[in-house]
Amino acid sequence: MALHLKASRARINRHWHVLCSEIGERYAGTRGEQDAADYIEGQMRRLGLAGTHQQPFEFPNWSYSQCALRVGKRRPTRRIEARPNAYSSATPDRGVSGPLINLQGGHKWDLAQPMKGKIGVLVGSLLLGDPDVRNQLVRSGIKALLAVDARIPFEWITSNGNCPAWMNGYHVPTVGIAYMDAIRLLKQMPARAHLKVKARSFPAMSQNVIGEIPGSRHPDQVIVVSAHHDAVWGNVGADDNASGVVFLLEMARLFARRRPKRTIRFISYGVEERLSVGAYLYAQSLTPAERRRIVFGINADSIATTIGSDMVGVTGTPQLARFVERIWNARRHAVHIERMVTPYSDHFPLNAIGVPTVWMTRPSIGTGSYWQLHSVHDNLENVSAAPLSRTIETNAILLDQVANATRLPFPRRLSPEVAREARRLHKSEYGHPWSPDSFDYDR
Ligand SMILES: [Zn+2]
């Protein structure tokens, strides 16, 4: 029988509208995130998915109420827009001030400069996941840090995610400024800055939403289709990751009335933007026997930017990569397939328990990243239904083949070198503290 797995533009636009216009911002631990979860649960129930429920969990949340940055040659009088990185410490009430120091790209040699009593400007990747970098900063006596996301060389600020594990015991107030502001600021050097941040960390609740289609022949073999419904601070996350939630809901609709041989479990995770907290806690909540039942994962995160090119990140074996390539080629679906291990989306906690996965994403062209990522520009203006429906339809073929094959078309395992890398990243990027009690935020 020929496949008739067509995505519905009307439904895509409807889901997008509800998530981004009616609900809007979905910052972790807020009403918006909960409303999105309730909407997804309602859709799963309407489709008749089995065992539909929410899995609530507690996590250390963070928010800020004030962030004021001023700079100047002698006296800091010129205001620059800034936003604290997630889990940034507060400053004392009167703020902190000091001479600026150019920490360049934030490499080891950059951070070897004397920083005591100064405010640093760091353009590039602030690698707080690296304990050496974190310790260097904590011990330096630096007063505050202005961190500039060099992937996004624009006039606007971004909301930078961090996870509790990286920020544990890190007490340096750290804020982001726009790339172009950093250029103007560094051109003025030497200069001084004054920074005031009011922020706090507190226990909060989030939730994963789970529903499934039980397999008719191999109900004990489970394929996980996932996305995340939270977004970063200050935008509606139309691409990151309402696009993935729409993908998940459309995939659920396309398969809801079929009887696949294997079980398909749909999971929308909470708190992805702090390094997949929901996905990690989900994987941890499974018994060893339940973990062994998961044979494959399809994760969608940021798949609908208008000017972009589709990519599939394959974490598993060469056989899985070839299988994916055959399906995309047969559809003439232009795609970059890359074998990779990356901890920066919700497929990774499955890799960490030995499950092969594919990650659908769509980087924008020309910026080496996602130009609207984590900024106010991640809105409905800048995403398109065309690439999204294409990715849904190609994945429907993939899912159909995996769910209904007599034998799984690729091994249910990771190649040894992939497994090694997954274990290494799991140790360095994930781990404690996941509970508010063990999180040393500001003591
Ligand atoms: Zn995301």
- The alpha carbon of 250 and the centre of ligand 1 are apart by a number of angstroms equal to 18
Å from CA of 229 to ligand 1 middle? 8
Ligand 1 centroid vs 320 CA: distance in angstroms? 23
CA of 219 to the centre of ligand 1 (A): 30
- Please, which residues bridge with residue 294 across strands? 222
* Residue 113 CB neighbour total at 10 angstroms: 14
Interior/surface letters 243-275, b for 16+ CB within 10 angstroms, e for the rest: bbbbbbbbbbbbbbeeebebbbbbbbbbbbbbb
pLDDT value of residue 4: 66
Integer Cα distance of 419 and 55 in angstroms: 28
Rounded distance from Cα 160 to ligand 1 centre (Å): 12
**Banded pLDDT at 2 (limits 50, 70, 90):** very low
The Cα–Cα gap between 399 and 401 comes to 5
Q: What is the tens place of the pLDDT at every residue in 335-393?
A: 999 999 999 999 999 999 999 999 999 998 876 678 888 999 999 999 999 999 999 99
In the chain, % of residues over pLDDT 70: 97
- Kindly give the interhelix angle for 318-330 and 385-404, rounded to the nearest 10 degrees: 120
* CA of 96 relative to ligand 1 center, distance in Å: 33
Q: In angstroms, what is the span from residue 274 Cα to ligand 1's centroid?
A: 10
Q: Is the sign of the CA dihedral 284, 290, 295, 301 positive or negative?
A: negative
167-225 pLDDT per residue, tens: 888 899 999 999 999 999 999 999 999 999 999 999 999 999 999 999 999 999 999 99
Q: For residue 27, report the distance from its CA to the centre of ligand 1, in Å.
A: 12
Distance CA 46, CA 11 (A): 14
E runs forming strands in 214-293:
218-228, 262-269
> In sequence order, which residues have a C-beta less than 8 Å from that of residue 324 and are 6 or more positions away?
312, 314, 337, 358, 398
CB atoms within 10 A of CB 62: 25
Q: How far is the CA of 345 from the centre of ligand 1 (A)?
A: 6
Please state, for a pLDDT cut of 90, what percent of the chain lies above it: 83
Distance 217 CA to ligand 1 centre (A): 34
Alpha carbon separation from 317 to 224, 301, 340, 355, 356 (Å, rounded)? 18, 21, 10, 11, 8
Calculate how far, in angstroms, residue 280's C-alpha sits from the geometric centre of ligand 1.
14
Distance, CA 142 to ligand 1 centroid (Å)?
Answer: 31
Annotate 100-160 with DSSP letters as a single string: EEE-TT--TTTTTS--TT-EEEEES---TTSHHHHHHHHHHT--EEEEE-TTS-SSS----
What is residue 359's predicted lDDT score, i.e. its pLDDT?
98
Ligand 1 centroid – CA 109 distance (Å):
32
Kindly tell me if the per-residue pLDDT of 443 is higher than 60.
no
Ligand 1 center to residue 237 CA distance, Å? 8
- The whole-angstrom separation of Cα 161 and Cα 240 is 13
pLDDT score of 176: 95
CA 273 – ligand 1 centroid, Å: 6
Specify the range with the lowest mean pLDDT, choosing from 22-36, 149-163, 173-187, 378-392: 149-163
Mean pLDDT taken over the chain: 93
302 CA distance to ligand 1 middle (Å)? 6
Q: How far is the CA of 188 from the centre of ligand 1 (A)?
A: 36
pLDDT tens digits, one per residue of 405-421: 999 999 999 999 999 99
What's the CATH fold of domain 9-61+204-429?
Answer: Aminopeptidase (3.40.630)
Tell me the domain boundaries of the chain. Answer: 9-61+204-429, 62-201
Residue 431's pLDDT is what?
66
d(CA 301, CA 373): 12
- Distance (angstroms) between ligand 1 centre and the Cα of 440 equals 26
The encoded tokens of residue 384 equal 């398109």
**pLDDT of 432 above 70:** no
What's the confidence (pLDDT) of residue 440?
Answer: 82
Dist. CA 234 → ligand 1 center (Å): 14
pLDDT given for residue 290 in this prediction? 98
Q: Which is more confident, 242 or 129?
A: 242
Cα 423 to averaged position of ligand 1 atoms, centre (Å): 22
**What pLDDT does 368 receive?**
62
Note the CATH number of domain 62-201.
3.50.30.30
Confidence at residue 127, expressed as pLDDT on a 0 to 100 scale: 78
